[in-house]
Each structure stands twice: as structure tokens, then as C-alpha cells.
Amino acid sequence: MSATLFSQTQLLPPISRFYPIRKTSTAASSSVLTGASKPIPLASDQSPKTESEFESNIETNAALRWKDPPPASIPGTYISLAKARLAALVVLTTMAGYAVCPLATSLPTLLATTVGTALCVASANSLNQWIEAPYDAQMNRTRSRVLVTHSISPIHAFSFGIASGIAGFVSLYALVNPITAVLGLANIVLYAGIYTPMKRFSIWNTWVGSLVGAIPPIMGWTACTGTIDAGALFMGAILFAWQFPHFNALSWNLRSDYSKAGYHMMCVVDPALNGRVSLRYALALIPLCASAPAIGLTSWMFVATSSVVNGIFAMAAYRFWRNSNEKTARELFFMSLIHLPALLALVMIFKL
């Protein structure tokens, strides 16, 4: 698809804002990084590492044309659009919600739930990249994505997102139950329709994003029971609280990129709040897990063992809060990757 046609279809902002990054020798004059989007000042006296690490200009190149991948590379392109690693984590939390459910389980239902959830996640992630491509082009972390490198046309990416969303909803509705299908559809709308644009103007996007992360384990539970009850809300609450220390730690070392692209993230706008929120929700996991026996989900052994796991996690969040830097952010982030599977495993081990 040509640049002219692309601009006319208005699938993304003007084409002049979406081009591969070229190096520039312009020196940084402040802690505000420049780019096609209006940058956000870093809310601290810490400047970005070096301008050479984040140098970029978005420039127009009339000779560049959109293209679709050759048939042999389409599977890999779709995997990239779906953000396969993130999708796998989401599907695993959905399966955990199903496994924790005390009712009898069915392998066909579990497989249908897994496939339907994966399709919904692929839809949300594809639409997210379709919307954010102009800004992805300005960030080191995302400038190699397939839309930024013109490896696929926006219409193709958009069509894949819509098609996978419809397939996910229909499969969940027909093979699982309506409530799980509605939750899958709601997550697509929340992630692509609310969270993604909200990143441009409010730090509350993190709370919306955490709600998105909380829904998959609820979907796993409802796939088994057909209802949203205390157990479903408990599983969702664990994922909701976990998201904050996980994402806030991850975003800390990306704050220069977020600043340059104009994203209103806590780590950019209010670094102190970023640390406080991380600690607050890490601590909240302790009493939250202690409520599991009260709702008849686990034995009291879960409270004892989860308190140890949550306590270690909270200590990492405390160090990040006391002194937010690259080292404490990395420690908290990697701890979060160990903490979540350990906690979910304990729920399954000690469930009643």
C-alpha cells in the first residue's frame, strides 16, 4: 500500500510521523527527549543515559512503500503482532484460574478456553500495535516491530486483529460459555480501546492495564463454573495487585523511551508515586492471600507459605521504593517473574 493511500485511509496518524529512525548528531539540551510526539519532561533530576542511545528523528521518505509479508513469513509476522511471549503469560494465568477451580474439569473445555483466550490476546496486542505504530517508531524498545519496519501493511495488521478477536469471541461463546466470551471481548476493548489511548494523557492507564491483566484468570474460573464468584474475584485480585510492582519496575528503566514518545507513565510523571504504588500493592498481596481460606478456596497452609513468598516480594518492592534506580528496578522485575508462578503454584497445591 502506498504512503498516499495509507494517509487517505487514516488508519494511523500522518505518514510523516511513522518512519524508521535515523541517527542524528544533535546533542540533548535538557532531560526532555525530542521526537515526533510532544515529549514529556522526566519528573526528576535524572537525565536520560545519553542522547546517542535514544537519538531519533521521524522523517518522510516518499520512496518507502507499505508491503505485506511473503506467504512463508506470515506466521512469524502474526506471532510478532500477537506478542507471543506476553500472550503465553496471559494464557498461563487463564489456565491457572481454570486449574484452581474446585469443580470437575474437562480437557476439551480447557483447550477451547486456551485457544479462545489466545485469540483474544492476539487481537488486543495487534490492535495495540496498529494504534501505537507512530510512537513505537520513536522508542528503542519497540522500533523493530513489524509495523514500524513496514514488514506488514496497517490494513493487514488491523484485519488480523479484528479477525482474531471475532474468532476468539465466537470460539469462547460456542465452546465454553457466554460469560467467558464476554470477558474476552471486554479485555480486547479495555486494552486496545481504553488502555492504549489512555497512555497518551493519564497515569491512570496503569490501573486500567492492571484490570486487563486481572481478567484472564477470572476467564479461566468462569470457563469451569460459568459464574463470577468469590474464587474468581480472588484470582483476579492477585493478578491485579501483582501487575503494579511488575510493570512499575519494568517501566523504570524504560522511562527515557516513554518520555521521548510522550507517554504519561508513573515512572516519567511522578517517580515517587511509581515506587509507592509498587510497594503498596506488593504489601496488599499478603492480606489478600490470607483471605483464601475464608472463602473456602485453600487450606491455612497456603496462608503460611504464601506469606513467605509475598514477604520476599514485598522486600524487593521496599528496596525499589526507598531507592528507585536501575539495579533495584531490575531486582523487583525479575523477582516478579519468579513470584507469580510460585504464588499460583501454591494456590493449586493447597486448594481445597
Question: What CATH number does residue 191 fall under?
Answer: 1.10.357.140
Q: Clarify whether residues 216 and 79 are in a common domain.
A: yes
Q: Clarify whether residues 209 and 265 are in a common domain.
A: no
Q: Clarify whether residues 249 and 140 are in a common domain.
A: no
Name the average pLDDT for the chain.
Answer: 84
Q: Clarify whether residues 303 and 316 are in a common domain.
A: yes
pLDDT at 71: 66
**CB contact at 8 A, 154 and 146:** no
pLDDT at 19: 35
Domain count, the chain: 2
pLDDT of 9 strictly over 70: no
Choice between 343 and 22, residue whose per-residue pLDDT is larger: 343
Q: How far apart (Å, rounded) are the C-alpha atoms in residues 173 and 158? A: 23
What number is the average pLDDT over the span 192-200?
Answer: 95
How many Cβ atoms sit within 10 Å of the Cβ of residue 111?
11
pLDDT at 60: 37
pLDDT at 214: 97
pLDDT at 20: 37
pLDDT at 43: 60
Work out the angle at residue 89's Cα, subtended by the Cα atoms of residues 205 and 265, and round it to the nearest 5 degrees: 20
pLDDT at 42: 60
What is the 3-state secondary structure of the chain? CCHHHHHHHCCCCCHHHCCCCCCCCCCCCCCCCCCCCCCCCCCCCCCCCCHHHHCCCCCCCCCCCCCCCCHHHHHHHHHHHCCHHHHHHHHHHHHHHHHHCCCCCCHHHHHHHHHHHHHHHHHHHHHHHHHHHHHHCCCCCCCCCCCCCCCCCHHHHHHHHHHHHHHHHHHHHHHCCHHHHHHHHHHHHHHHHHHHHHCCCCCCHHHHHHHHHHHHHHHHHHHHHCCCCHHHHHHHHHHHHHHHHHHHHHHHCCHHHHHHHCCCCHHHHCHHHHHHHHHHHHHHHHHHHHCCHHHCCECHHHHHHHHHHHHHHHHHHHHHHHCCCHHHHHHHHHHHHHHHHHHHHHHHHCEC
Is 33 among the domain residues?
no
CATH number at residue 285: 1.20.120
Specify which of 103-107, 175-179, 257-261 reaches the highest per-range mean pLDDT: 175-179
Last residue of a domain, one of 184, 213, 228: 228
pLDDT at 72: 62
Choice between 48 and 270, residue whose per-residue pLDDT is larger: 270
- Cβ contacts of residue 252 below 8 Å, gap of 6+? 267, 271, 274, 320, 324, 326, 329
Q: How far apart (Å, rounded) are the C-alpha atoms in residues 107 and 140? A: 42
pLDDT in tens, 275-334: 999 999 999 999 999 999 999 999 999 999 999 999 999 999 999 999 999 999 999 999
pLDDT at 352: 86
pLDDT in tens, 17-71: 333 333 333 333 233 333 345 566 666 544 444 334 333 433 333 334 566 667 6
Q: pLDDT tier at 336 (50, 70, 90 boundaries)?
A: very high
Is 343 among the domain residues?
yes
pLDDT at 332: 97
Q: Clarify whether residues 302 and 349 are in a common domain.
A: yes
Q: Is the dihedral of CA 206, 89, 222, 167 positive or negative?
A: positive
Q: How far apart (Å, rounded) are the C-alpha atoms in residues 157 and 135? A: 16
Q: Clarify whether residues 205 and 255 are in a common domain.
A: no
- Cβ contacts of residue 265 below 8 Å, gap of 6+? 199, 203, 205, 206, 251, 255, 258
Q: How far apart (Å, rounded) are the C-alpha atoms in residues 167 and 83? A: 18
Q: Clarify whether residues 110 and 214 are in a common domain.
A: yes
Q: Clarify whether residues 215 and 291 are in a common domain.
A: no
Q: How far apart (Å, rounded) are the C-alpha atoms in residues 309 and 292? A: 15
Is 46 among the domain residues?
no
pLDDT at 260: 87
Q: Clarify whether residues 190 and 284 are in a common domain.
A: no
The percent of residues above 90 in pLDDT, for the chain, comes to: 70
Is 32 among the domain residues?
no
Q: Which domain does 336 fall in, by range?
A: 229-352
Q: Clarify whether residues 207 and 302 are in a common domain.
A: no
Q: Clarify whether residues 176 and 110 are in a common domain.
A: yes
Is 201 among the domain residues?
yes
Q: Which amino acid is at 273?
A: L
Is 23 among the domain residues?
no
pLDDT at 105: 78
Last residue of a domain, one of 228, 260, 278: 228
Last residue of a domain, one of 180, 210, 228: 228
Q: Clarify whether residues 223 and 275 are in a common domain.
A: no
pLDDT of 12 strictly over 80: no
Is 66 among the domain residues?
no
Is 22 among the domain residues?
no
The residue to which cell 514477604 is assigned: 311
